[in-house]
Amino acid sequence: MRGWRAPVAGICFLPAAAVAGEARRTPFGTLPDGRSVDEVTLSSGPVTARILTWGALLRSLDVPDRSGKPADIVLGYADLKGYLDKPNYFGVSVGRYANRIRAGRFSLDGKAYTLATNDGPNALHGGREGFDKRLWTITDLSAGPAPSVTLRYVSPDGEEGYPGTLTTSVTYALDAAGTLTVTYQATTDRPTIVNLTNHSFFNLAGEGSGRSILDHVLTIPAERYTPVDATLIPTGELASVAGTPFDFRKPTIIGTRIRDGRDPQIVRGCGYNHNYVLTQAPTANTHPVARVEDPVSGRVLEMASNQPGVQFYTGNLLDATAVGKSGLAYRQTDAFALEPQLFPDTPNQPAFGSARLDPGATYRNVITYRFSTSPDLRSRNRGSAD
């Protein structure tokens, strides 16, 4: 796709065959009803990931900088209480339908369904108790060169208003080349809608660095995005990014246009909180989603997925009331989220495609997070970082 750029040469991580991976399960906490929450640690090469059974969430991700010093680059909490008291969707698996559905309503085969609304008039990320607020079960834990964990959650017919019993799994797999692959799959016993994704908040400088993501350099190889109304529901337009603050086809510093109040979409989103159009529909293989680079630490994140859209969000609602793992109060623009998925409100907008899943079919969303490092880019000019 036009505008995509190959990774900058820099420090390479070890090949997968060079280091044996580790997969370890330990207790993390107890829910108010007495159920136990476990944490799985996956280590391979220079990268370590920690996943909780609560919300099937990514709690931490340790990645080295250009000097080899690791730092945790995802927002989250030190204990279970934080995730229960002020979840903020940190690192979670979201569903049944990630993002927003207008008025919490949709129709399928002529029947109208009403969902729980939890974002003003709209349904967001599966409702009041979506998949992010459920205890998942570990079904597989494997060590070796690419350690992995698979978690499962069965959503009963009618949960949060959605039809059909949905059997969902997510696999986190980590290889020594510095790539974390997250694979969502789902099957149903009756027609339903599905849209799953991961909602990790990233700061490539480190979640405890005290630095914002405003100087991160972002590339999204999308020529169009979906503008939103006052409640952040897409208007139906597939608008060109050309000449707008939403144009990241070339590497651009995130902070350059994030407060451009001349654009009503920036005002509505309080910054970036919009879906980008990558393809017309899910693809058989993964395609580039985004590339993000922190010029100070040198950490580079390259994302790919088979999904047609990606929601770019700059943590606009973080208000310093959530205190993270390092004891810092998380604020607006302390992190970004890139969520590969179907377009928001697809069930109500046929031009966006289909979110339908039928019995006998399998929903699948594959997301890869590839990490590397780059040379020092601080000498580059502000704005476009060609």
> Catalytic annotation on 22?
no
CA 94, distance to chain mean position in Å, is: 9
CA 101, distance to chain mean position in Å, is: 18
Place of tokens 């997070």: 369
Identify whether the C-beta of residue 364 lies closer than 8 Å to the C-beta of residue 249. Answer: no
Nearest residue to 97 via CA among 135, 121, 127? 127
CA 95, distance to chain mean position in Å, is: 12
Q: Estimate the share of the chain in helix, then strand, then coil, as percent rounded to the nearest 5.
A: 10, 40, 50
193 DSSP β-pair partners: 356
CA 298, distance to chain mean position in Å, is: 21
Two tokens, residue 154: 């069965």
Residue 5 one-letter amino acid = R
HSE-CB at 357 with a 13 A cutoff on CA atoms is 25
Place of tokens 């129709």: 107
CA 339, distance to chain mean position in Å, is: 4
Longest distance between any two alpha carbons in the chain, whole Å: 59
CA distance 244 to 169: 38
Q: From the candidates 39, 160, 199, 216, which is the catalytic residue?
A: 199
> Catalytic annotation on 199?
yes
Residues identified as active-site: 199, 339
